[in-house]
Structure 1
Amino acid sequence: MNRLALVLGLVLLAGCSAVKHSRVRPDYETVDKTQVKRLVVVTQPLPDGKKEVGELWSLIARRYVNQNRDFIARSNVAIDGNPEDTSFKGLCVDNFEGVLWLSPDVKRTGKGVEASVKAQLLRCRDGQEVWAAESAGSWPSEDERYKELNVQYTSELGPEVTPYVAPSFRLLSATLDTLPRPTLNDAEVEEKIELGE
């Protein structure tokens, strides 16, 4: 009976997850773990068609992967329209080894936000996918747990982003938690510390 309760509990937890699926290249441990560490984060197309919200998404993602996934994300951009080049070769400059691409679908609904994202980590050297995930959900804009975060991003990016902060953070953190962790050498750890994030 206890085993049945445990299984049902796990099924219910899995059913509530924002992450629908994620995958990592089968050769990640032997290839990309030590080679794809320096990233540029790009959000394209713009969430809800708003540049400020795109900047919010890219900034949240850059900070999150720096703080929680051991990547060295030095740059973030938000670009209108659909990408002409889904390998983002034009962004692979300044020793970047990968592009973290967030392709969102976001809309305000009542007192909240409904959002989904297709996310990919692409290698700069050949445009190949290293990791991908798809997530979706609906969250209220007002959430006491994210009050300080709301204040921080609103002061940085303006009041236009306020209703999007908590829902965006919830979706992106769940999604980005499925990223693998690269291995950094001592010099790269120092480089990461210099980022200060």
Structure 2
Amino acid sequence: MNRLALVLGLALLAGCSTVKNSRTRPDYETVDKAQVKRLVVVTQPLPDGKQEVGELWSLIARRYVNQNRDFIAKSNLAVTGTPEDTSFKGLCVENLEGILWLSPEVKRTGKGVEAAVKAQLLRCRDGQEVWAAEAAGSWPSEDDRYKEITAQYTSELGPDVTPYVAPTFRLLSATLDTLPRPQLSEADVEEKIELGE
């Protein structure tokens, strides 16, 4: 009986989850764990059609994967329109090994934001998907738990991003927490420290 209650409880929790699904390549541990570490974060199309909100998404994601998932996300950008090349090969410059692509749908609603994201981690060498996730939800723009982070991003990117900060952070942190963790060498750790994030 206790086991049934536990299973039902977990099922109910999963039903309320922001993340609808996520997957990692079955060969991740042997192929990509030590090879796909240096990333560029791309948000395309622009969330709610706004450049500054796209920049917010990419910046939050870059910092989050650097601080919480052990990647070395070197840059971030937000691009208008829909991708002509969904492998983003043109962005695989210098020693970048992967693209973290965020494809959002965002809409302001009253005092909040409805948002959904399809996220993919793509290998630079062949454009293959390493990881993917889909998530969605609706959150208020004002949330006391995110006051400081809202002030920080508003200061950096301007007041137009203010209503989007808390909902974006909540959606992206839940989504990016499903990313696998790369294996970093000592040199990688030093490089990561130099990034300062």
Q: TM-score, normalised by structure 2?
A: 0.98
2:121 aligned residue: 121
1:5 aligned residue: 5
Sequence identity (%): 86
Distance 2:16 2:62 in 1: 25
Letter matched to residue 153 of structure 1? Y
Q: Which runs of structure 2 are paired with 1:16-165 in the superposition (5 Å)?
A: 16-165=16-165
Distance 1:142 1:12 in 2: 27
Distance 2:135 2:121 in 1: 15
Distance 1:67 1:141 in 2: 24
Distance 2:34 2:8 in 1: 39
SS in 2 for 1:34: coil
Distance 1:174 1:99 in 2: 19
CA apart distance, 1:2: 3.2
Letter matched to residue 49 of structure 2? G
CA apart distance, 1:7: 2.2
Distance 2:35 2:6 in 1: 39
Question: What is the alpha-carbon root mean square deviation over aligned residues?
Answer: 0.7
Structure 2 residue 181 is the aligned partner of structure 1 residue 181:
yes
CA apart distance, 1:12: 1.4
SS in 2 for 1:30: helix
Aligned residues: 197
Distance 1:93 1:73 in 2: 13
CA apart distance, 1:4: 3.2
CA apart distance, 1:83: 0.4
Structure 1: any 5+ residue segments left out of the alignment?
A: none
Letter matched to residue 22 of structure 1? S
Q: TM-score, normalised by structure 1?
A: 0.98
Distance 2:8 2:29 in 1: 33
